[in-house]
Amino acid sequence: MFGFAGVIKLILSAFIILPVVSIIREGGYLIASHLLGASSSKVTVGCGPKVFNIGVFEVRRYYFMYSWCSYDSLKFDKKWAHIIIYSAPILSNIIVAIGVNALLAVDGIPMESFWTQFIFYAFYFVLFDFLPVYYPDGQPSNGRVIYDLVRHNKFPDFEKEGE
List pLDDT tens digits, range 97-115.
999 999 999 988 888 788 9
**Band of residue 70 on the pLDDT scale cut at 50, 70, 90:** confident
**Which residues, in sequence order, are CB contacts of 124 under 8 Å at separation 6+?**
none
Contacts of 14-21 with CB under 8 Å at 24 or more apart are: 14/64, 15/64, 17/114, 17/117, 17/118, 17/121, 18/64, 18/121, 19/45, 19/46, 19/63, 19/64, 19/67, 20/118, 21/93, 21/118, 21/121, 21/122, 21/125
**pLDDT for the residue 107:** 87
**pLDDT for the residue 42:** 86
Average pLDDT over residues 89-96: 96
Q: Which residue has the higher pLDDT, 84 or 74?
A: 84
The model scores a pTM over 0.75: yes
CB 88 within 8 A of CB 31: yes
Residue 55 φ then ψ, to 5°: 60, -125
Bridge partners (DSSP) of residue 58 are 44, 53
**Band of residue 157 on the pLDDT scale cut at 50, 70, 90:** low
32 C-beta neighbours (distance < 10 Å), count? 23
**Band of residue 161 on the pLDDT scale cut at 50, 70, 90:** low
Share of the chain above pLDDT 90, in %: 39
Eight-class DSSP state of 72: S
Q: pLDDT tens across 16-51, in order?
A: 998 899 889 988 988 998 899 888 888 888 888 999
Average pLDDT, the chain: 87
CB 12 within 8 A of CB 117: yes
**Band of residue 163 on the pLDDT scale cut at 50, 70, 90:** very low
Average pLDDT over residues 81-98: 94
Amino acid 57 reads F
CB 68 within 8 A of CB 142: no
54 C-beta neighbours (distance < 10 Å), count? 9
**Which residues, in sequence order, are CB contacts of 149 under 8 Å at separation 6+?**
79, 82, 83, 86, 155
